[in-house]
Amino acid sequence: MSGNSELAVETLELGRRYGRVTALEGVNLRVTKGSYFVLLGPSGGGKTTLLRLIGGLVRPSAGRVRLHGRDVTDLPANERPTTMVFQSYALFPHMSVARNVGFGLALRRVAKREVRERVDRMLDLVGLTGYQERMPHELSGGQQQRVQLARSLVLDRDVLLLDEPLAALDEKLRKEMCFELKRIQEQVGITFIHVTHNQEEAMTVADRIAIIASGRLIEEGSSREIYEHPARRFTAEFIGETKIFEGTVEAADGARARVDIGIGVIEVGNRDANVRVRDAVSISIRSELLELLAPDETASAAMQSVPATYEKTIYLGLTSSHRVRLPDGAEVGVRRFSGARGTARIEPGAQVRLAWHMEDARLHTS
Amino acid sequence: MLQDYRNPWLYRGMWVYLLLLVGALLLPVFYTIYISFNEHGFGAQIYDFTWDWYRVMLGNTQIIDSLRWTLGLGAATVAIAVPMGLIAAKHYKRTRHKLVLVTLMLAPLFVPADILGSALLVYFKNLNRACNWLADTLGLEWIRTWFELGFGTALVGQVLWTVPYAFIVILITMSRYHAQQTEAARSCGATGWQAFWRVEFPQIRVGVASASAFVFILSFNEYTRTNLLKGGFDTFTTVLISHMFNTGMSEDSYAMAGTVSVISMLVVGGVLVWSLARVERLEREARAAATPLGSA
């Protein structure tokens, strides 16, 4: 059986059950050759299971896996053109760095001299030249992950799977390693599939992102599409800090919909969702696109607004979150750069209007 | 705890207590060894050092034969019980039904030696009868001796008893091993066997070696089950105890008891020293890991 050879990875209705628990169900994923693909989602959502199914570390309960058009569903991990970087504890503690990196080559009975050369080259690529004789316990967390990366890359496999590779690192190191991973992927040009629950990490490295939650593929797109134009309510809620309004459609045409959200009626673009009257819908607006207006301030015609009460400002360093409470009791954060003027001068308890541009709101039916 | 050790006398007292306890437990053993080197034997007023009783022991063909059987039975028990314990420990790490597995594996320990031995004896006698009937009725002569009491039946009895110990000892060592390393090896191209042999085994071999030593000592010193199931041959321990029952403790019996004790203590002590040295090395490595040499 063969499929599209432009795809590095393709899964067809892939599923995995553990007894009565469904870890993954009906996942159809397509990963283009040479791309940096991220599986993003909350913990326990099934993204690691999906990665392990692709890598052959778990057998699927349903569905097929194709790698470069070839059906590999029944092949074990060691016979697939994939290799994997794990979160931690995956270096062999009884082997030096050089032996760890050369492990796969030694299994293939590659000549010792060639092993040494390729190991040196890979350690150079990951910035660990001179670390050949160190033991894993002599390395920091970041260095250990670089060794894992070298051990995988030295095998010249087509697809590199990374299972939360930066989760055990501190914030600063994680950011550095993100750029490092992206640089290496661009340099070696193979397909990377990276699992993470950290959206900043995902945005930094990804060409494309798939949102995985509750054992399902929720949505897939480029980083910008996923962040700025989420099609599904779950994505909008999971990515960034987002206010979700629930409501019922009062009127709709091909361009706009009027939605009753309980505390008012607002208008929202309807081109993508194409809702009809009486449909139950959600409207999402990211916190940095919200604005606070004085009650008597005139908003432009393209702006929507609801009444709110200003409560407080939480300083977060680069940004601050201005907290307001809506008439239905819901709390909403309005994100602004901490240096920005205006909203910080509002007195707690003051009446304001929470406003946004109509085109910044997204309409969701699911 | 640390507070207690600020008092040096309390610390010394602890050591005195431990030495007294171990001394009280081992004194009879050392006394037996001491007597085995006395030319005049047990109860004599004078003590003259001699190797004679060991020479007598080594000149006794029955004892030498029994020593050969003992070593053979011990080696065979190790060869079967340790791999079985290893497989069970590996399965324990993977299964979700851990309690059931542990209960089944440890069950032989809860059956008294004489009950287990006699139950196996009855079992083998019945199987033997069935094999004889099949041989007579169907002419299958080659199965007639399958369950006759002998080395094989004694081996089954010893394996049944020692597997739980091998399982526990290996399992303790295996608890330090992270299964992710096996997955990492597989994703680097290793087969299941290569992942086990090159990655997992080097990290659990101390446990396997300790289990082997432990099982060997258990087999070496075992009497009740072996005596019931051994058939026509004798082990060192069955000869020693039969000597004691039939003729009382003679001087060469002390030499035999001394030999058993010294071999046991050397094997256990050797493994203990090796294990402690390894634990110390692992702790040293863990301390080093806590202060990495370089940053990322």
pLDDT reading at A344 higher than 60: no
> A19-33, A49-63, A253-267, B123-137: lowest mean pLDDT where?
A253-267
pLDDT level of residue A358 (50, 70, 90 thresholds)? confident
CATH code of A326's domain:
2.40.50.140
Record: contact A155-B292, CB cut-off 8 A: no
Phi and psi, residue A215, nearest 5°: 75, 15
Residues of B whose CB is below 8 A from A108: 189
In a domain, A2, yes or no: no
Number of domains composing chain A: 2
Pairwise CB contact (< 8 Å): A103 & B185: yes
What average pLDDT does the segment A353-364 reach?
88
Q: Is residue A1 part of a domain?
A: no
Beta bridge partners of A36: A192
Do A43 and A128 sit in the same domain of this protein? Answer: yes
Q: Which of B178, B183, B189 sits opposite A155 (nearest CB)?
A: B189
Amino acid A346: pLDDT: 79
Confidence of residue B42 (pLDDT cuts 50, 70, 90): confident
Give the residue carrying structure tokens 């919200």.
Answer: A290
Residue B108: per-residue pLDDT: 86
Is residue B255 pLDDT above 90, yes or no? Answer: no
Evaluate if residue B282 carries a pLDDT over 80. no
Region B218-225: mean pLDDT is 90
Residue A100 lies in a domain: yes
| pLDDT at residue B288 is higher than 70 | no
Sheet containing strand A303-315, edge to edge, reads A291-293, A351-357, A303-315, A319-325, A331-337
Residues A50 and A80 in one domain: yes
Question: Two tokens at B261?
Answer: 């004790």
Res. B38: pLDDT tops 50: yes
**What CA–CA distance (Å, rounded) separates B84 from B164?**
9
| Mean pLDDT value of segment A51-73 | 95
A171 with A275, same domain?
Answer: no
Contact B178 A55 (CB under 8 A): no
Q: What is the pLDDT of residue B268?
A: 80
| CATH number of the domain bearing residue B176 | 1.10.3720.10
Looking at per-residue pLDDT, the higher value among A89 and A180 belongs to A180
Strand partners, A159: A82, A191
B188, B285, B296 member nearest A155 (Cβ): B188
| Dihedral Cα B36, B38, B40, B43, nearest 10 deg | -70
Per CB-CB distance under 8 Å, the chain A contacts of B181 are: 89-92
Flag whether A85 is in a domain: yes
- The answer to whether residue B90 is domain-embedded is yes
Q: Domain total for chain B? A: 1
Burial class (CB in 10 A: 0-12, 13-18, 19+), B242: middle
Could you say which of A86, A87, A137 has the minimum Cβ distance to residue B285? A137
CATH number, position A110: 3.40.50.300
Report phi then psi at B107, rounded to 5.
-50, -45
Does any domain span residue B294? no
The CA distance from B179 to the nearest CA of chain A, in Å, is 9
Query: What is the CA angle A156-A162-A167, rounded to 5?
Result: 145
Any A CB within 8 A of B60 CB: no
Average pLDDT over residues B264-282: 80
CB contact under 8 A, B183 and A83: no
- Host H or E run for residue A295: none
Identity of the residue in A93, A139, A176 whose CB atom sits nearest the CB atom of B203: A93
CB contact under 8 A, B294 and A177: no
Residue A15 sits in the same domain as residue A139: yes
Higher-scoring residue by pLDDT: B291, B143:
B143
Instruction: Check CB contact of B189 with chain A, cutoff 8 Å.
Output: yes
Residue A2 confidence (pLDDT) = 47
Closest Cβ–Cβ partner in B185, B188, B288 for A138: B288
Top residue of B94, B183, B188 to mutate, by most chain A CBs within 10 Å, is B188
3-state helix, strand, coil in chain A (%, to 5): 25, 35, 35
> Looking at the structure, do residues A260 and A182 belong to the same domain, yes or no?
no
Give dist(CA A225, CA B244) in Å, integer.
Answer: 89
- List the domain range (segments joined by +) for residue B77: 60-280
Is A359 found in the same domain as A275?
Answer: yes
Q: Do B293 and A135 touch (CB under 8 A)?
A: no
Q: Across the strands, what pairs with A307?
A: A353
Residue pair A292/A322 in contact by the 8 Å Cβ criterion = yes
Q: Taking a C-beta distance cutoff of 8 angstroms, is the pair A292, A355 a contact?
A: yes
User: Could you give the CA distance from residue A260 to residue A245 in angstroms, rounded to a whole number?
Assistant: 10
- Residue A219 and residue A333 in one domain: no
Residues A161 and A266 in one domain: no
Higher pLDDT, B5 or A239: A239
Q: Pick the residue from chain A with its C-alpha nearest to B202.
A: A94
Domain residue limits at A185: 7-233
Cβ within 8 Å, pair A84-B184: yes
Does residue A107 contact residue A98 with C-beta atoms inside 8 Å? no
* Mean pLDDT, range B207-220, rounded to an integer: 91
Out of A10-24, A74-88, B272-286, pick the least confident: B272-286
Of A55, A141, A176, the CB nearest to B187: A55
Q: Do residues A128 and A277 both lie within one domain?
A: no
Residue range A31-47, pLDDT digits in tens: 999 999 999 999 999 99
Residue A76: list chain B partners with CB under 8 A.
Answer: 186, 192
Residue B285 falls inside a structural domain: no
Give the closest-approach CA distance of A81 to chain B in angstroms. Answer: 9
Q: Are A210 and A37 in contact (CB under 8 A)?
A: yes
Given a cut of 70, whether residue A93 has pLDDT beyond it is: yes
Cα–Cα distance for residue pair A295/A322, rounded to 1 Å: 16
Considering chain A, what is the average pLDDT of its residues?
Answer: 89
What per-residue confidence (pLDDT) applies to B160? 92
Instruction: Give the model's confidence band at A219: pLDDT under 50 very low, under 70 low, under 90 confident, else very high.
Output: very high
pLDDT (average), residues A157-164: 93
Contact A306, A264 (CB under 8 A): yes
Residue B221 CA to chain centroid, in angstroms? 8
The span from the CA of B215 to the CA of B165, in Å, is: 7
